[in-house]
Amino acid sequence: MTDFSKTMRYQIVDGELYIWGKNSNGQLGLGKKAAKVVPALTKIECLSRICIKLVKLAALDFEHSVAVTDEGEVLSWGGGGSGRLGHGHESSILGFLSCSSEYTPRLIKEFEKVKIKNAAAGLLHSVCIDEKGCVFIFGERAADKMVFQDRKNATTPSMISKLPYSDEVACGGYTWVL
C-alpha cells in the first residue's frame, strides 16, 4: 500500500494530466483549497484544453512540478521558494512575508518565444532544454558562477551559454545532469 502523504504520482491519459499524492505546497496543481493529501487519481481541470507531453516532479520532497505541452510551452506549480518555478517570485526575508507558491499550473512567460522539448525539477531548481539544445536553469544556485554570477537565485530562466547541444536532462536534490 502506498503512503500518499510522502509521495506524489501522475499519469497522462490522452494528453490530460491526472495526479495524486502529497499536496503540502500546491505541487499537485489542484488549487489552493485542495486537500493536503489526495489519495485518488484526480484530473487537473484547469489543464483540460492543454495537451501535456511530459511532467517532471521535483526530487526528494516533491515541492514543485514542471510540465511541457505538445506545443513546447512550460508550466510550473507548487512551492516557489528560491525561484524554482521560474515566474520571477522573490522570497521575502526568511520567507514569512509573502507566498511564492502557485497552486495551479502557470505558464512560464520567459519561454513565450522558446519551444521547450524537455524539463526536469530538482529540490530547489528546475532545468529546461529548448528545441535547439540550449539549456535554461532557474531556482537556487545549482550551476556555480557559470550561470548565476553573484546572484544566489535566478527567479526566471537563465540560459547557460557555455554548454554544447543538449537533448536530455535529469535533476537530483541539488544537482542536474545533461
pLDDT tens for the 178 residues of the chain, in order: 455 556 778 899 999 999 999 898 899 999 999 999 999 999 999 999 899 998 887 754 478 999 999 999 999 999 888 889 999 876 555 555 567 889 999 999 999 999 999 999 888 889 999 999 999 999 886 555 445 555 566 889 988 877 888 888 888 777 778 7
Q: In 3-state terms, what secondary structure has residue 91?
A: coil
pTM, whole model, 2 decimals? Answer: 0.87
DSSP-assigned beta bridge partners for residue 136: 128, 159
DSSP-H helix ranges across the chain: 144-148
Q: What is the pLDDT of residue 145?
A: 43
- In sequence order, the 6+-apart residues with CB closer than 8 A to the CB of 7 are 21, 22, 62
Placement of cell 526568511 in the chain: 94
Phi/psi at 81 (5° precision)? -55, 150
